[in-house]
Amino acid sequence: MLARLFAVGAIVTAPLCAQTAPVSLPEVTVYSPRVANQSPTGSFAMPVSALRFEPQVDVQARNLTEAQADLTIRGGIFENTGLGLGAFSLGDPQTGHYLAEIPVAPAMLTAPEVVTGAAHAERAFNSTVGAILYGWRPVRTTGSLAIAAGDHGMNRQELYQGYAGDVTAGGRLLGADVAWARSEADGSVPFGDSHFNRVNGRIQLSDAHSQTDLFAGYQAKFFGWPNLYTPFNSNESENLETVLLAANHRIDLGGGDFLEAGVYHRRNKDDYAFNRFAPLGTVHPFQHTTWVSGAAVGGRRDVDGLVFNFHGEVLSDELHSTSLTAGRFHTRTLGKLAVVPEKSWLLGDGARLVAKAGVTYDHSNHDGDAWSPVVEIAREQPSAAVSRLYVSFATTTQLPSYTALNSSATAGLFRGNPNLGRETSRNLEVGASGLVGGWATQAAVFYRRDDALVDWTFRQGVTARTANAVDVQTAGAELIARRSWSRCDVVLGYTVLSKSPDYRGATVDASFYALNYARQRLTAAVVVRLSREVTLRFDNAARVQAGNLLRVTGGNDAVISSLGLSYRPAAWPGAEFSVQADNLWNSAFQEVPAVPAAKRQLSVGAGYSW
């Protein structure tokens, strides 16, 4: 399977990337430089769209990636991945399934940064394996309009407008941008329809050294899918409404020093239907609303050669639910403080030795507190082939979601445990980055032990999934390589994993999440500039999946590809016409066990930028 992907990439790129004649290209919007296709095929672009073929993130989707997607890093699960926006960490206290519900147009965000190990412990909150961090993109005077249509009744429309002129407020430039998007589709399988809407706006104040962003966004999503969350052949649906209000301020102090602070409020409403065709008048038994308010501050400050890295966050949450009522509480407060001093020394060969050693403190009013170490030693030499070599050890912790804590332990489709406690992860890794044979590369070998990780498991004869604590040992390695030629860009990623679980005596026949991982995963993103006007974009992910009793169709090996071809006529600057195919090979692989795969999706689109 992996050989097939290598062969396809070689056929497409070998003769074209060898050309060296310079090509002048019009500017295009890039949400992530590590994937080829910047927009999805079946919906409008969301922050999660640029993660599907990201080398360090494994996205496990139900229906479209933009409908419901679980984000995992290094074999973790959907609930121990973090997501940061500016200074603060976002999350959903009900369930990690809604981590990616971010009502922000990607045009307002910087490219995602994936952090693990010491960097994750230092910069993220209430996650244990890794985090995906976004910043606020500076506003520019630019706009774009895009439309598309495809099979399965798909159509979408997007509009973005930014303005950054010479108007000032308090001596700082005033900018603003707004975005609107909608899409609908019948779905690639019966009862897989979707209807999405998003609107958001931002005001920005900036100068040469600082940027302040005030943001408001709203997103509504309805989608259906058979076996959306349960393996019982039911046509299920989800109706989500998300509101996000945020303010973020960053000051660059020079020499790498900075200070960043932010506050936010998020509301998420969820109406899940196990049977979307229940008789009229029947109350859906799974309705939930969560509110989260948070504040964060972080930065870096050099004081006479001793650098202080610090990050602190606090949040309060609240849950109202028709079904998550069996637990001990429905409100809580969480907090974290990380202080990681850093010292560096010049070595005789011109390299620099950098040592970090610090501690994080996690607090909650409903669980015990935790102190955790963070240690990293690195050798840095930008002019060398291996520009950075490091070893790190870090411990991170988080608390379970309300779905795990407040679901009934004895009845219902989802069975929880009110006594689940703090989850702890210890990560040891060795890594390097540099320029090898013209390829910009980064590599890491790691060992992680997760204790009391909350997994959802299946037991034959029991018509429910159950929240069980599991201790998991994970060993793995990852490699990412990138190279650009005048006509071609290639990004390759490879991850290999091995797991050893201990469910503490519980009877488990299959795991929906902790043991749903790729033993080997290879990604290949290829951008080929066929001419000044025509560009080919090709994303691929090949995987050798661990076996799972719940995965009844599609096998354990798969190649998933997305292919796009765009035409930007020189005679009409700003215009673009595109054709795109998702799931090019029409793979039936179930990314989440027992959840049917989405079939091939084709679309044609047109856009104009100014």
The per-residue pLDDT for 25 is: 34
Q: For residue 389, count other CB atoms closer than 10 A to its CB.
A: 17
Whether residue 286 is contained in a domain is answered as no
pLDDT of residue 183: 98
The pLDDT of residue 205 is 97
Q: What CA–CA distance (Å, rounded) separates 5 from 562? A: 12
Residue 251 lies in a domain: no
CB atoms within 10 A of CB 594: 22
- SS3 sequence, 470-492? EEEEEEEEEEEEEEECCCEEEEE
CB 81 within 8 A of CB 97: no
CB 557 within 8 A of CB 545: yes
Enter the DSSP assignment of 109. B
d(CA 53, CA 36): 9
Predicted local confidence at residue 70, as pLDDT: 96
pTM above 0.75? Answer: yes
Residues of the chain with pLDDT under 70: 1-29, 280-283
Structural domain contains residue 254: no
Task: Give the pLDDT confidence score for residue 26 in this predicted structure.
Answer: 38
Q: Evaluate whether residue 283 is within a structural domain.
A: no
Instruction: Report CA dihedral (458, 461, 462, 465) to the nearest 10 degrees.
Output: 20
The reply to whether 255 falls in a domain is no
Q: Is 579 in contact with 535 (CB distance < 8 Å)?
A: no
Task: Render pLDDT for 425-469 as a digit per residue (tens, 0 to 9).
Answer: 999 999 999 999 999 999 999 999 999 999 999 988 887 899 999
DSSP one-letter code for 97: G
Q: Is residue 247 part of a domain?
A: no
Give a yes or no: residue 411 inside a domain. Answer: yes
Q: What is the pLDDT of residue 535?
A: 97
- DSSP string spanning 487-556? SEEEEEEEEEEEEEEE-TT---SEESSTT--EEEEEEEEEEEE-SSSEEEEEEEEEEEEPP-TT--SS-S
Structural domain of residue 560, as residue ranges? 2-230+261-277+295-609
Spatial separation of the C-alpha atoms in residues 123 and 113, rounded to whole Å:
12
The CATH number of the domain where 430 resides is what? Answer: 2.40.170.20
End-to-end CA distance of the chain: 43
Q: Considering the domain boundaries, does residue 336 fall inside one?
A: yes
CA distance 349 to 355: 18
pLDDT of residue 165: 84
Give the tokens for residue 114.
């994936």
DSSP single-letter state for residue 50: G
Tell me what percent of the residues of the chain surpass a pLDDT of 90. Answer: 88
| Total domain count, the chain | 1
CB-based contact 118:112 (threshold 8 Å):
no
